[in-house]
Amino acid sequence: RRLRLPVHPAARVYGLPLIGSHVGADAGACLLATGLFESDGVTALLDIGTNTEVIVGNRHRILAASCPAGPAFEGGGVTCGMPALDGAIERVRIRDDGTVETRVIGGAEPTGICGSGLVDLLSELRRTGGMNEQGRLADEQERFVVDSTHGLFLSEGDINELAQAKGANAAGLRIAAEAYGVTLSELTRVDLAGGFARYLDVAAA
């Protein structure tokens, strides 16, 4: 009752123990959900967020690390970014004629772009040649307009924020795998967790 959870008022609530500094109980829950701790093959798990937890291992040994990814994939630090709430653009496609097609959470008027929409947008910009491998926009543009009616765009500064977040996650995974003694190609599976990862288009990522 005190926690205001929509369950029976006399229900008991249990919290899982923390694993370590910046590797929380949610990472423990992920271990249980994925069965990583029972597997023979070495697998990896990334719970993507402001601090991304990376876990590499199997039933014999498990290593965990925390990556300071920052809030970019949750919309923070990005000019038109926002959390995945009603009004957030969650899907983006650039048509052959250069116009932009979007899907908005809740079907409302768009007010920002959430993490899955940002990843879609980066992917589409690469696919169409609107952005190079260094994250520079084509034709020396400073921003790419997603929705002119609602003033939504992606700037090169925003791309840099997202690149740093991606870099932190990739570095954390590489370091954890190296410390474990395996290469990334030797991982038998990679699981993604968290609110952002749940709606991520893996092909776009």
Report how far residue 41's alpha carbon sits from residue 188's, in angstroms, rounded to the nearest whole number.
Answer: 6
The 10s digit of each residue's pLDDT in 37-90 is 999 999 999 999 889 999 999 999 999 999 998 899 888 899 999 999 999 999
pLDDT band at 132; cut points 50, 70, 90 = very high
**Considering only CA atoms, which of 107, 109, 146 is closest in space to residue 124?**
146
What is the distance between the alpha carbons of residues 59 and 36, in angstroms, rounded to a whole number? 7
Read off the pLDDT of residues 87-116 as tens digits, 9 standing for 90 and up: 999 999 999 999 999 999 999 899 999 999
- pLDDT higher than threshold 90 for residue 4: no
Give the pTM.
0.86
Burial of 175 (0-12, 13-18, 19+ CB in 10 A): middle
Say how many residues make up the chain.
205
Give 144-172 pLDDT, tens digit per residue. Answer: 999 999 999 999 999 999 999 999 999 99
Q: What is the mean pLDDT of residues 4-9?
A: 90
Give me the pLDDT at residue 17, please: 87
Q: How far are the Cα atoms of 13, 74, 161, 198, 204 from residue 78, in angstroms, in the given order?
A: 36, 9, 7, 20, 19
